[in-house]
């Protein structure tokens, strides 16, 4: 072992390293082989014979020089014992693992045997129950057959030319069928009864083994089979009796739908149409007259219906007096711009709505519910006061019970005040006059009362029947008296509604919210609207996904006179549409589609010319009228409608504003594309364009304008439309001259010697030649001379010489009228 001198030997610790190998064979110890990085060293165990000089092994302690350097006999023995213990532990762990595997396998076998035994027991139980049921069914069938044959008349048993029907013998028992199968050398399928149906339930093992046997026949199929067998045994024909139906027939129907309503085969209906000379497939539509012929040919009864019949489900149901319960009154605040309507309502509900309005002007209809100190619940509608919102105020008056007319004490009755009075009278609702701003020094409430007399509104202080209250939204003066007057008026009206019925309400406002989708503010008038209700509103329909009250809180239901925001519509409805709750989604969709189709046809009919004269008149009008196309997008439906109505009023016989598209929601790339194709600007009212729309507008040069106050938009559109008007040409008379004598000058022609009698004569001005106050010629001057000099103008009282351009028929005593033309811009 001298090779290993000066080199490290690999140490052996408590466990055997990977480079040490040891083997045990039948109790005899072999040498330990230690593999180092450079050498392979054989270390003999203590007590083993060390190698002799001739290659024989001898004891280790006899020659210490043959052992690795630095390892004594004791250390070597200790290490060899550690190796033996490690090997014993490994053998013990292997035996333990083998025992655990055997135990788990035994447990799995026992569980599998238990499951198989339970399944076998279930199958046996089901087979016994099935055999018992089949036995009872067989006995019942035999008894029925015997009774039917016994009750049959004797003559029916023998018919000339036919054999006599003998009494049937007892049917073979199903329990005998396995024997028949054995006789015929047939083998029953595993897991099935002999009638071809699988017996017992489908187990996991059967499914894995492919013994599922297919689907099991239903009880109805088994009953039909038994009825056919019974009828066949009795000799009775099995033809079914034809059922004649009442078939609802609309104005047009497809062939397949017609066959479905008659419960006939489509092939039979197509064959009947071909017999009548009509070649039609199942997907083609036929008219009502043709369908009626086919229905009568099949023996059914025709019931003609109209497309409008889909709305019959919305027929108003009269509520019984016993079902009616008191409801809160609906109060509409109306009046002129800046008379303090919203501020008054803020003072009542202790809110600050006016702070969020653009320019302090209400742009939308707001619906709020207020609980007074006395506990009375009041529903308020706040309508805008500007003239453009006439239709919105009109809808507010249609759903209201009481109108509160707000008039400023420091002002007078204004145009919108008169309009509000007319709406209240048209709606036939009681009115309460609130004289606001009573705290101002210049307030004169008596003048307001006197002005109201001119419009047939007589207040109580003027011996009338209309309540009037002096209030101040700033100081709170008179608010309690106003609420008391409203409560008194509501008590006189005895307002009641039935909450236990399908809901019905009016859309006060509608908008397209980015996060929530189409949202409609609905004032419930009858019934109770609940979350999950299916409804139809105008041309839209939906299912109530959420209800949000005026405070922004989610509620589960909303009763009569309660304003709520409704989420779950498929589109944005028109403000003023009526919401009705229906039973099914199919009804709602059908009604909405019918309304949409009817509205489209109405619009098409309104825009179509019916005669040649109308076509020519429209074409001529379009040639003479200049159009300003615009695209309008607003935040809510009511504002969009009001803007469109205001645009329709702008224009005259020469120019008009045409709204290409109006909608609710942000300005999109589609709007920019439409505006770019038509050369129109885009107006956004309380909305903005998204990023892609802004980029597209910059690329295509489309102008986008944003507004928050409606009459700023109206003024700008008026100014733009005025630019399309042709300038007005005005004539300004600047002088008159009388011809004294006519001279003929060579190279010039006839020249009139004139005296300027009035004003001034200018060479650049236009002239007319008057003879006996009749215009003979109109043109321009070729020359204007003072003595021999050419001059620009000649003052009154001076003489001059004038010559006309391309005209020489001038005479003494003719009068020359001198005038100038100027262009004046026109405004709408």
The stretch 486-491 carries a mean pLDDT of 87
* Alpha carbon distance 528, 507 (integer Å): 15
Give the tens place of pLDDT for each residue, 176-192.
444 444 444 444 444 44
DSSP assignment string, 685-746: ES--B-HHHHHHHHHHT--EEEESSHHHHHHHHHHHHHTTSPPEEEEEEEEEEEEEEEEEET
**Closest to 199 (Cα-Cα) out of 181, 217, 185, 182:** 217
DSSP assignment string, 567-589: EEESSPPPTTPEEEEES-HHHHH
Q: Is the pLDDT of residue 199 over 60?
A: no
Distance of CA 43 to the CA centre of its chain: 89
Weakest mean pLDDT among 208-222, 399-413, 572-586, 774-788: 208-222
> pTM above the 0.95 mark?
no
Please identify which residue in the block is written with the tokens 């029916």: 156
**Closest to 631 (Cα-Cα) out of 704, 715, 695, 571:** 704
| 277 conformational bin, left if phi > 0, alpha if psi -120 to 50, beta if neither | left
Q: Is the pLDDT of residue 45 over 50?
A: no
Confirm if 732 and 779 have CB atoms less than 8 A apart: no
CA distances from 683 to 262, 419, 468, 634, 705 (A): 55, 28, 42, 8, 5
**Res. 352 pLDDT band, cuts 50 70 90:** very low
Return the SS3 of 380. strand
Q: What is the pLDDT of residue 709?
A: 81
Q: Is the pLDDT of residue 464 over 60?
A: yes
Element (H, E) at 395: helix 390-398
Give the tens place of pLDDT for each residue, 760-809.
998 888 899 999 888 999 988 888 988 888 898 899 999 999 988 888 88
Q: Is the pLDDT of residue 519 over 50?
A: yes
Range list of β-strands (E), 376-459: 377-382, 402-408, 431-436
Weakest mean pLDDT among 194-203, 403-412, 456-465: 194-203
Pairing outcome for strands 815-824 and 728-745: antiparallel
Confirm if 261 and 248 have CB atoms less than 8 A apart: yes
Long-range contact pairs involving 79-84 (C-beta distance under 8 Å, separation at least 24): 79/12, 80/22, 80/32, 80/45, 80/46, 82/12, 82/13, 82/14, 82/15, 82/16, 83/12, 83/16, 83/20, 83/22, 83/32, 84/24
Confirm if 710 and 635 have CB atoms less than 8 A apart: no
Q: Token digits for 72? A: 């004594």
Q: What is the pLDDT of residue 760?
A: 92
* Alpha carbon distance 500, 526 (integer Å): 9
Q: Is the pLDDT of residue 58 over 50?
A: no
CA distances from 259 to 154, 269, 281, 413 (A): 44, 6, 12, 68
Q: What is the pLDDT of residue 739?
A: 92
Percent of the chain whose predicted confidence (pLDDT) is above 70: 75
* Alpha carbon distance 214, 684 (integer Å): 66
Q: Is the pLDDT of residue 679 over 50?
A: yes
Q: Token digits for 539? A: 């041309």
* Alpha carbon distance 595, 186 (integer Å): 68
Choice between 176 and 208, residue whose per-residue pLDDT is larger: 208
Return the SS3 of 120. helix
CA distances from 617 to 465, 624, 696 (A): 53, 11, 38
Distance of CA 184 to the CA centre of its chain: 69
* Alpha carbon distance 534, 536 (integer Å): 7
Q: Is the pLDDT of residue 43 over 60?
A: no
Length of the chain: 828
Q: Is the pLDDT of residue 193 over 50?
A: no
**Closest to 819 (Cα-Cα) out of 772, 755, 771, 758:** 758
Across the chain, mean pLDDT equals 77
Return the SS3 of 96. helix
**Closest to 520 (Cα-Cα) out of 370, 642, 367, 311:** 367
CA distances from 192 to 130, 215, 216, 581 (A): 12, 11, 10, 54
Percent of the chain whose predicted confidence (pLDDT) is above 90: 15
Confirm if 713 and 645 have CB atoms less than 8 A apart: no
For the ranges 20-34, 295-309, 750-764, the one whose mean pLDDT is highest: 750-764
**Res. 161 pLDDT band, cuts 50 70 90:** very low
Q: Is the pLDDT of residue 669 over 80?
A: yes
Give the tens place of pLDDT for each residue, 265-308.
999 999 999 999 899 899 998 988 899 999 999 999 988 877 66
Q: Is the pLDDT of residue 742 over 80?
A: yes
The stretch 717-724 carries a mean pLDDT of 81
CA distances from 31 to 119, 440, 555, 650 (A): 62, 121, 90, 116
Confirm if 759 and 767 have CB atoms less than 8 A apart: no
Q: What is the pLDDT of residue 670?
A: 86
* Alpha carbon distance 566, 529 (integer Å): 10
Cα-based torsion angle of the residue sequence 625, 628, 631, 633 in order, rounded to the nearest 10 degrees: -100
For 307, which DSSP code? G
**Res. 85 pLDDT band, cuts 50 70 90:** very high
Q: Is the pLDDT of residue 481 over 70?
A: yes
Handedness of CA 401, 407, 409, 413 (dihedral sign): negative
* Alpha carbon distance 199, 123 (integer Å): 8
CA distances from 475 to 343, 347, 752 (A): 11, 9, 83
For 386, which DSSP code? S
Q: What is the pLDDT of residue 8?
A: 40
**Cβ contacts of residue 253 below 8 Å, gap of 6+?**
261, 285, 286, 288, 291
**Closest to 755 (Cα-Cα) out of 718, 714, 801:** 801
Element (H, E) at 510: strand 504-513
**Cβ contacts of residue 162 below 8 Å, gap of 6+?**
none
| Most distant CA atoms of the chain, gap in Å | 172
Confirm if 761 and 817 have CB atoms less than 8 A apart: no
Give the tens place of pLDDT for each residue, 234-253.
776 656 667 888 888 888 88
Element (H, E) at 224: helix 219-234
Q: Is the pLDDT of residue 568 over 60?
A: yes
| 686 conformational bin, left if phi > 0, alpha if psi -120 to 50, beta if neither | left
* Alpha carbon distance 405, 331 (integer Å): 10
For 430, which DSSP code? -
For 192, which DSSP code? B
Element (H, E) at 762: strand 749-762
Q: Token digits for 552? A: 């922004």
Pairing outcome for strands 704-707 and 799-804: unpaired
Pairing outcome for strands 32-35 and 20-21: antiparallel
* Alpha carbon distance 135, 174 (integer Å): 8
Confirm if 532 and 497 have CB atoms less than 8 A apart: no
Confirm if 491 and 483 have CB atoms less than 8 A apart: no
* Alpha carbon distance 92, 8 (integer Å): 34
CA distances from 692 to 35, 403, 458, 673, 712 (A): 75, 46, 58, 12, 27
**Res. 541 pLDDT band, cuts 50 70 90:** very high
């Amino acid at each position: 072992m001298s090779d290993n001198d000066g080199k490290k030997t690999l140490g052996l610790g408590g466990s055997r390293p990977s480079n040490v190998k040891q083997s045990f064979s039948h109790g005899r110890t072999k040498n330990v082989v230690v593999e180092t990085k450079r050498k392979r060293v054989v270390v003999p165990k203590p007590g083993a014979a060390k190698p002799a000089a001739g290659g024989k092994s001898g004891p280790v302690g006899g020659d210490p020089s043959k052992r690795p350097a630095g390892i004594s006999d004791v250390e070597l023995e200790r290490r060899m014992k550690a190796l033996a213990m490690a090997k014993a532990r490994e053998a013990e762990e292997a035996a333990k693992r083998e025992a655990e595997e055997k135990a788990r396998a035994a447990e799995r076998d026992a569980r599998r045997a238990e499951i198989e035994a339970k399944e076998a027991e279930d199958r046996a139980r089901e087979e016994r129950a099935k055999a018992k049921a089949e036995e009872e069914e067989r006995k019942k069938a035999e008894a029925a057959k015997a009774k039917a044959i016994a009750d049959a008349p004797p003559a029916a048993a023998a018919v000339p030319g036919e054999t006599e029907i003998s009494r049937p013998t007892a049917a073979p028992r199903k329990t005998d069928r396995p024997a028949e199968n054995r006789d015929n050398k047939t083998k029953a399928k595993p897991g099935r009864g002999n009638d071809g149906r699988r017996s017992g339930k489908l187990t996991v093992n059967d499914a894995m083994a492919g013994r599922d046997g297919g689907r099991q026949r239903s009880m109805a199929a088994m009953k039909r089979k038994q009825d056919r067998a019974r009828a066949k045994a009795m000799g009775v024909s099995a033809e079914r009796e034809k059922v004649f139906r009442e078939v609802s027939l609309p104005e047009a129907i497809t062939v397949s739908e017609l066959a479905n309503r008659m419960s006939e085969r489509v092939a039979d209906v197509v064959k009947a149409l071909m017999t009548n000379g009509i070649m039609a497939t199942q997907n083609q539509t036929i008219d009502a007259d043709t369908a009626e012929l086919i229905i009568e040919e099949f023996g059914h009864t025709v019931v003609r219906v109209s497309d409008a019949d889909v709305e019959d489900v919305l027929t108003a149901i009269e509520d019984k007096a016993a079902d009616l319960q008191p409801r809160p009154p609906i109060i509409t605040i109306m009046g002129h711009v800046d008379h303090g309507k919203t501020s008054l309502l803020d003072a009542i509900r202790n809110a600050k709505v006016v702070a969020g309005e653009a320019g302090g002007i209400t742009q939308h209809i707001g619906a709020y519910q207020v609980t007074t100190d006395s506990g009375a619940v009041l529903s308020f509608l706040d309508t805008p006061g500007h003239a453009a919102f006439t239709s919105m105020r009109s809808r507010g008056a249609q759903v209201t019970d009481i109108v509160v007319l707000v008039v400023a004490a420091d002002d007078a009755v204004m145009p919108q005040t008169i309009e509000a009075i007319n709406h209240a009278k048209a709606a036939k609702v009681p009115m309460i006059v609130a004289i606001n701003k009573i705290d101002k020094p210049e307030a004169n409430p008596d003048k307001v009362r006197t002005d109201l007399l001119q419009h047939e509104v007589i207040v109580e202080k003027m011996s009338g029947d209309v309540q009037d209250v002096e209030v101040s939204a700033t100081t709170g003066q008179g608010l309690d008296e106003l609420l008391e007057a409203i409560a008194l008026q509501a008590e006189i009206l005895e307002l009641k509604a039935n909450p236990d019925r399908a809901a019905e309400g009016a859309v006060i406002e509608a908008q397209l919210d980015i996060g929530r989708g189409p949202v409609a503010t609905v004032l419930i008038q009858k019934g109770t609207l609940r979350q999950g209700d299916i409804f139809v509103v105008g041309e839209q329909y939906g299912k109530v996904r959420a209800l949000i009250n005026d405070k922004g809180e989610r509620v589960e239901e909303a009763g009569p006179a309660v304003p709520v925001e409704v989420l779950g519509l498929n589109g944005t409805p028109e403000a003023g549409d009526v919401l009705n709750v229906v039973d099914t989604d199919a009804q709602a969709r059908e009604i909405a589609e019918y309304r949409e189709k009817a509205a489209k046809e109405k619009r098409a009919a309104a825009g179509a010319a019916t005669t040649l004269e109308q076509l020519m008149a429209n074409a001529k009008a379009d040639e003479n009228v200049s159009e300003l196309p615009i695209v309008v997008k607003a935040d809510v439906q009511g504002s969009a409608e009001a803007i469109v109505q205001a645009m329709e009023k702008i224009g005259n016989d020469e120019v008009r504003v045409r709204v290409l598209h109006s909608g609710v929601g942000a300005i999109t790339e589609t709007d920019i594309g439409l505006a770019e194709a038509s050369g129109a600007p885009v107006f956004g009212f309380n909305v903005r364009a998204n990023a892609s729309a802004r980029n597209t507008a910059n690329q295509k040069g489309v102008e986008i304008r944003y507004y928050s106050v409606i009459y700023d938009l109206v003024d700008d559109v008026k100014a733009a439309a005025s630019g399309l008007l042709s300038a007005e040409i005005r004539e300004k008379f600047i002088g008159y001259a009388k011809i004294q004598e006519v001279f003929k000058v060579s190279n010039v022609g006839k020249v009139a010697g004139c005296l300027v009698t009035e004003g001034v004569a200018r060479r650049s001005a236009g002239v007319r030649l008057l003879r006996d106050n009749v215009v003979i010629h109109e043109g321009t001057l070729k020359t204007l001379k003072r003595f021999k000099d050419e001059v620009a103008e000649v003052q009154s009282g001076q003489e001059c010489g004038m010559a006309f351009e391309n005209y020489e028929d001038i005479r003494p005593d003719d009068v020359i009228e001198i005038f100038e033309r100027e262009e004046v811009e026109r405004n709408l």
